[in-house]
C-alpha cells in the first residue's frame, strides 16, 4: 500500500551559496531543511500540512531523525529530494533520499519520525489519530 505514488513526492533544489561552508560543501544541518521542504510538500499532498494538523487539534513534533551522508553536495549543484511515507499507524516515519539531479547518483539518505500529540492536553498519542487515516484515505 505504501508503494502508492500518493505517498511519495520529489522536489528539486539548486544549492544556494548561503547553504555551504567555506569549502563549498553543504553544511550538514541544512540537509534537515531540505528534508523539511520535501516533507511539507508530501503532507500537503493529502491535505494534512502543518496548518491542517494544528487545526485538527494535534501537533506532530519530530522525535527521531537520521541522516547518512554518502557523497558531498556542493554550491549550485541541482539536487532532487524524495520524501516517502513509510509508516503512519502509530507515528509518521518519512524516508528521504537526495540525488544529484543531473547524474541521478544518490548522495544522502535519512528519515524523520513524528508522533501525534493532542494539543489541548499535551498528551502523546500511541496510535495516530483518526484524522490522519481520513486524510490518507486508508482504513483505521
Give pLDDT, residue 95. Answer: 98
Cβ neighbours for 109, distance < 8 A, ≥ 6 positions apart? 67, 68, 70, 95, 96, 97, 98
Domain total in the chain: 1
pLDDT in tens, 5-46: 889 999 999 999 999 999 999 999 999 999 999 999 999 999
The three grid cell numbers given for residue 119, joined into one nine-digit string: 494539543
The pTM score is 0.94
Task: Let me know how long the chain is.
Answer: 140
pLDDT mean over 60-74: 97
Residue 46 belongs to domain with CATH number: 3.10.129.10
- Give CA–CA dist 73/135, Å, rounded: 34
Q: Read off the C-alpha cell for 106.
A: 544518490
Q: What's the domain range around 51? A: 5-136
Reference 49, options 38, 58, 41; nearest CA is: 41
Residue pLDDT, tens place only, 85-135: 999 999 999 999 999 999 999 999 999 999 999 999 999 999 999 999 999
Does residue 128 come out as left (phi exceeding 0), alpha (psi in the -120 to 50 range) or beta?
Answer: beta
Amino acid at each position: 500500500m505504501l508503494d502508492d505514488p500518493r505517498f511519495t513526492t520529489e522536489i528539486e533544489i539548486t544549492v544556494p551559496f548561503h547553504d555551504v561552508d567555506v569549502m563549498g560543501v553543504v553544511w550538514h544541518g541544512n540537509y534537515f531543511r531540505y528534508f523539511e521542504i520535501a516533507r511539507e510538500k508530501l503532507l500537503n499532498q493529502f491535505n494534512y500540512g502543518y496548518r491542517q494538523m494544528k487545526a485538527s487539534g494535534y501537533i506532530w513534533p519530530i522525535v527521531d531523525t537520521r541522516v547518512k551522508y554518502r557523497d558531498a553536495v556542493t554550491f549550485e549543484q541541482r539536487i532532487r529530494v524524495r520524501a516517502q511515507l513509510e509508516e503512519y499507524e502509530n507515528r509518521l516515519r518519512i524516508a528521504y533520499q537526495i540525488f544529484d539531479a543531473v547524474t541521478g547518483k544518490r548522495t544522502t539518505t535519512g528519515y524523520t519520525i513524528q508522533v501525534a500529540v493532542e494539543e489541548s492536553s499535551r498528551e502523546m498519542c500511541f496510535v495516530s489519530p483518526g484524522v490522519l487515516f481520513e486524510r490518507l484515505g486508508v482504513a483505521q
